[in-house]
Amino acid sequence: MISFSSKDKFDSRNLTMLCDFYELTMANGYFKNGMKDTIAVFDLFFRRIPDGGGFALFCGLEQIIQYLENLKFSDEDISYLKKRKLFDPQFLDYLRTFRFECDVWSMTEGTPIFPGEPIVRVRGPIIQAQFIETMLLVTINHQSLIATKTNRIVRAAKGRSVFEFGSRRAQGYDAANYGARAAYIAGAASSANTWSDVHFGIPASGTMAHSWVQSFDTELDSFIAYAKTYPNDCTLLVDTYNTLKTGVPNAIKVAHEVLEPMGHRLQGVRLDSGDVAYLSKKVRKMLDDAGLDDCKIVISNSLDEFLIRSILSQGAQVNAFGVGENLITARSEAVFGGVYKLVATYDLDGNVIPKIKISDNFEKITTPSFKEVWRLFEKDDHHPLADVITLEHEVIPDDGPYEIFDPLDTTKRKVVTHYIAKKMLVPIYEKGTLVYQSPNLHQIRKECHKNVSELWEEMLRLDNPHQYYVDLSQELWDLKTNMLKELRTK
């Protein structure tokens, strides 16, 4: 069974009724039309990488497992549904004894993911597979969005620490807590959110606010009091009044006259306003001239990956970044855009019946049938070459040769050799029984770092990254094309 990171019932809430109402009305409809035992397959995938990036990061699987482990209809839930006077009494009896019986496969957390490929696959009774749509989407869309944004910021910082400072600007406490989790997986060094340390083991960090400095008669008094209270880890906020004229000089004074006699060093100063690129260079010189070359400079103030890149290109002297609202809300791209679509059902003999959704918008046309996702890695350095979606029975052999092609322009073809083929969807549930052992958060973070480091450098660019291809096998492409032709001629 899974080892949950959380030690609190907060993560064991029964969120069964966090669903779109149509999931319940459709479930009732399936039940009344004799379809409750129809086996269906749904794919969860997304259509576009946020911020025009080269990849996204998959996150949120552990919370999906927690949700499914607590999936049950309470007496209060049944009472509510009965009062709506929409639902068949036998359907409500079915919900009273409801037991999750689906198979679930998923990417693992911290895995780079790409548009169009299944990142979660669900197979089971259509009522159940449909019913979990909202919770799967709200969980994975949110955490994958924050993880993807955070990793962009971490890459822009060029090896400098990024602290997640966004709790107070998050869109609700769940967003603050699980946003901190996703940010840590994606490379943030710590979080200002204490809850995330208590329940996830994410290092909590923080020093002081401007209100601390304002609470004392003088800025110097506030620094002295803080240094005496926290001599082992003293970082001072130096921009409350005037960074260069009072803030840094007072910090230097405290370093020499308070901390050093106690046998300690000033750990850092933080800038939260002004032209931080200019100020950081001035502050660095003042600290170095005072013999405090080991004192770090931390900057904050509405940072994102582009501002961090710009600051560093100007020669800013920065050791770490505190990033808040633009990280925890993914402000530049507020929606991840994952969708959950029916791709197949099974007949009574167990044969797959492919299903496809067509649209005037090409990106909204789904890829039918029960499928596998393969990632082809270069055998020598493990760089991923391409992802290939195949039908369930197909096997991609190691070493090849294997021909891949662009599904949008099939004339673009390439034969690849000397590779390793890996199935990307791993079993999570088998007929409702949990079969996956979730790694702890620190292992997920480590694996995420490894996965991103294996990507081609060209994919890591913030602007105009190399496009990574997700290809269809020839057999799957033929199936999709033939179904489209048949449906459009009816």
Find all residues with CB under 8 Å of 482, minimum gap 6, and list them: none
Sequence-ordered strand ranges (E) for 26-165 = 39-46, 56-57, 103-106, 112-113, 120-125, 161-164
Q: Distances from the Cα of 203 to the Cαs of 130, 190, 370, 431, 447, in angstroms?
A: 38, 5, 41, 37, 18
Position 3 scores a pLDDT of: 41
Q: What residues pair up with 187 in beta bridges, in sequence order?
A: none
Position 11 scores a pLDDT of: 59
- Which run of H or E residues covers position 430? strand 426-430
Tokens of 313: 């290109």
Position 359 scores a pLDDT of: 84
Position 177 scores a pLDDT of: 97
Tokens of 308: 């961090």
Which of the residue ranges 416-420, 427-431, 449-453 would you say has the lowest mean pLDDT? 416-420
DSSP state, 245? I
Position 409 scores a pLDDT of: 87
Position 258 scores a pLDDT of: 98
Buried b / exposed e across 334-347, counting CB within 10 Å, b at 16+?
Answer: eebbbebbbbbbbe
Q: Percent of the chain, pLDDT > 90? A: 92
Judge whether residue 9 has pLDDT over 60.
no
Compute the distance between CA of residue 37 and CA of residue 18 in angstroms, rounded to an integer. 23
Q: What kind of fold does domain 9-146+336-368+424-465 have according to CATH?
A: nicotinate phosphoribosyltransferase (3.20.140)
What is the CA 199 to chain-centroid distance, rounded?
18
Judge whether residue 8 has pLDDT over 60.
no
Position 53 scores a pLDDT of: 98
Q: What is the pLDDT of residues 251-308, one digit of tens each?
A: 999 999 999 999 999 999 999 999 999 999 999 999 999 999 999 999 998 999 999 9
Superfamily designation of domain 149-328:
Aldolase class I (3.20.20.70)
Judge whether residue 1 has pLDDT over 50.
no
Confidence of residue 135 (pLDDT cuts 50, 70, 90): very high
Compute the distance between CA of residue 186 and CA of residue 150 in angstroms, rounded to an integer. 6
Tokens of 160: 């400098």
Every domain of the chain and the residues it spans: 9-146+336-368+424-465, 149-328
Position 362 scores a pLDDT of: 81
Q: Percent of the chain, pLDDT > 70? A: 97
Position 13 scores a pLDDT of: 80
Find all residues with CB under 8 Å of 159, minimum gap 6, and list them: none
Average pLDDT over residues 221-248: 98
Average pLDDT over residues 399-425: 91
Position 2 scores a pLDDT of: 39
CB atoms within 10 A of CB 160: 17
Contact 162, 189 (CB under 8 A): yes
Q: What is the pLDDT of residues 168-177, one digit of tens each?
A: 999 999 999 9
Which of the residue ranges 5-9, 430-434, 462-466 would you say has the lowest mean pLDDT? 5-9
- Angle (CA) 326-328-333 rounded to 5° is 60
Judge whether residue 434 has pLDDT over 70.
yes
β-pairing, 320-323 vs 296-299, is: parallel
Average pLDDT over residues 415-430: 96
Judge whether residue 10 has pLDDT over 60.
no
Confidence of residue 360 (pLDDT cuts 50, 70, 90): confident
Average pLDDT over residues 434-450: 97
Confidence of residue 489 (pLDDT cuts 50, 70, 90): confident
- Angle (CA) 240-323-449 rounded to 5° is 150
Judge whether residue 43 has pLDDT over 50.
yes
Identical fold for domains 9-146+336-368+424-465 and 149-328, yes or no, is: no
Find all residues with CB under 8 Å of 61, minimum gap 6, and list them: 106, 107, 108, 109, 140, 428, 438
DSSP state, 108? P
Position 345 scores a pLDDT of: 98
The phi, psi pair for 162, rounded to 5°, reads: -120, 125
Average pLDDT over residues 182-196: 98
Residue with more model confidence, 359 or 16: 16
Q: What is the pLDDT of residues 317-329, one digit of tens each?
A: 999 999 999 999 9
Length of the chain in terms of residues written: 490
Q: What is the mean pLDDT of the chain?
A: 95
